[in-house]
Homo-oligomer: A and B are copies of this chain.
Amino acid sequence: MYPLKLIQNRIIAAFGSEQFLNEPIKLYEPITYTLGQSGKRLRPVLVLLSCDLFGGDIEKAVLPAMGLEIFHNFTLLHDDIMDDAPLRRGKETVHKKWNDNTAILSGDTMFVLAYEYVAKTDPGLLPDVLRLFNDTARKVCEGQQYDMNFESQTNVTIHDYMMMIQLKTAVLIACSLKLGAIIAQADPVEAEKIYAFGIELGLAFQLQDDYLDAFGDTAVFGKEVGGDIITNKKTFLYLKAFEVASPDDLSRLDHFFSNPEIEASEKVRGVIHLYENLKIDQYTRQEIESHFQKATVILDGLSVAEENKEEIRSLALGMVGRNR
């Protein structure tokens, strides 16, 4: 088995050696800008780890894995227009640095690029690979729509929220793992298992992201705490707080979330304080743990030598904050 670090470096090298700039420059410059930013490259790393787990040749997985990373970055690019986000990974978003039209069209082009890379696989595997990717891409769009719907919807339940993050985030994690399995020509039953593992891991991963927004260490998390609180985002924390709050706490929560005139840092401090009183940190950690445990049970059940699972297990632990 390849060590995680080696696989991460393989993906970084792959992006480093690829040339995305092309004519017309105005179309490809924002793509080069976006793909040149060194994110965690989590999804392609998962593709290679899974391919390796099932005994496949990771070199055959590199280009399709890049396709998933390009797709992920395309969704961020369009999401940033829709959310009017100014920054992404500490840098100006494409629609701010250029404009909305550029972000729309460069995004569309990245979507085509994603398909081009995903398709760089053994022709015999293409029908399965394409079916998986189409299904995933559709679900991610549906998840983004639910996410936008929830902004103005007043009766969002935790169940609704979990369904939304499954579509918007978890299916792409699951797709990454299953893509690696398909390329390794794993048994289809095992491929479904690693997909199910990815769904649970993806849910835990998104909940961890929600958790860090309120309870993260800025230095570790890499972004300011409280972004979700400032924008009234209906995360697991928010929904759980409204679910368990006493009438008094409810009116305190309402006070912070319904008065736009409250200064941002005061709002963040006040809400986090309420969350702590309501033990939202503990509820969230329990929920993360529950999904992580389900993921672990599925991984344990995979018909693959235990020692082969070590790298994926270690990455998964990192994704839910267990290595900090």
Q: List the 4 shortest-distance A-B pairs measured between CB atoms, nearest first.
A: A27-B145, A109-B141, A82-B101, A123-B127
Residue A115 at the chain B interface, CB threshold 8 Å = yes
A148's contact among B78, B82, B101, B142, by CB below 8 Å, is which? B101
Residues of chain B lying within 8 A (CB to CB) of residue A111: 108, 111
Taken residue by residue from 122 to 138, chain A's Cβ proximity to chain B (1 for < 8 Å, 0 otherwise) reads as 01001100110010011
A235 to B265, CA, bound (A): 54
Interface pairs (7), CB distance under 8 Å: A23-B142, A24-B146, A78-B105, A81-B104, A82-B104, A108-B141, A116-B134
Residues of chain B lying within 8 A (CB to CB) of residue A112: 134, 137-138, 141
The answer to whether A138 touches B109 (Cβ under 8 A) is yes
A101 to B141, CA, bound (A): 12
A113 to B23, CA, bound (A): 27
Residue A209 at the chain B interface, CB threshold 8 Å = no
Residue A149 at the chain B interface, CB threshold 8 Å = yes
Residue A192 at the chain B interface, CB threshold 8 Å = no
The answer to whether A27 touches B141 (Cβ under 8 A) is yes
A145 to B119, CA, bound (A): 25
Residue A273 at the chain B interface, CB threshold 8 Å = no
Band of interface residues on A:
35 or more
Residue A287 at the chain B interface, CB threshold 8 Å = no
Residue A269 at the chain B interface, CB threshold 8 Å = no
A116 to B115, CA, bound (A): 12
Taken residue by residue from 29 to 41, chain A's Cβ proximity to chain B (1 for < 8 Å, 0 otherwise) reads as 0000000000000
A residues apposed to B, CB below 8 Å: 23-24, 26-27, 78, 81-82, 100-101, 104-105, 107-109, 111-113, 115-116, 119, 123, 126-127, 130-131, 134, 137-138, 141-142, 144-146, 148-149
Residues of chain B lying within 8 A (CB to CB) of residue A144: 105
Q: Give, as a whole number of angstroms, the nearest-CB distance from A45 to chain B.
A: 24
Q: Give, as a whole number of angstroms, the nearest-CB distance from A21 to chain B.
A: 13
Known: A24-B142, A27-B141. 20 other contacts (CB 8 A): A26-B148, A27-B145, A78-B104, A81-B104, A82-B104, A82-B105, A100-B100, A101-B148, A107-B108, A108-B111, A108-B141, A109-B142, A112-B141, A113-B138, A115-B130, A115-B134, A116-B134, A116-B138, A119-B130, A123-B126
A149's contact among B24, B78, B119, by CB below 8 Å, is which? B24
Closest residue to A115 on the B side, CB-wise? B134
Q: Give, as a whole number of angstroms, the nearest-CB distance from A205 to chain B.
A: 23
Closest residue to A27 on the B side, CB-wise? B145
Residues of chain B lying within 8 A (CB to CB) of residue A100: 81, 100
Residues of chain B lying within 8 A (CB to CB) of residue A123: 126-127
Residues of chain B lying within 8 A (CB to CB) of residue A105: 78, 82, 141, 144-145, 148
Residues of chain B lying within 8 A (CB to CB) of residue A127: 119, 123, 126
With A105-B141, A141-B105: A149-B115 Cβ-Cβ less than 8 Å = no
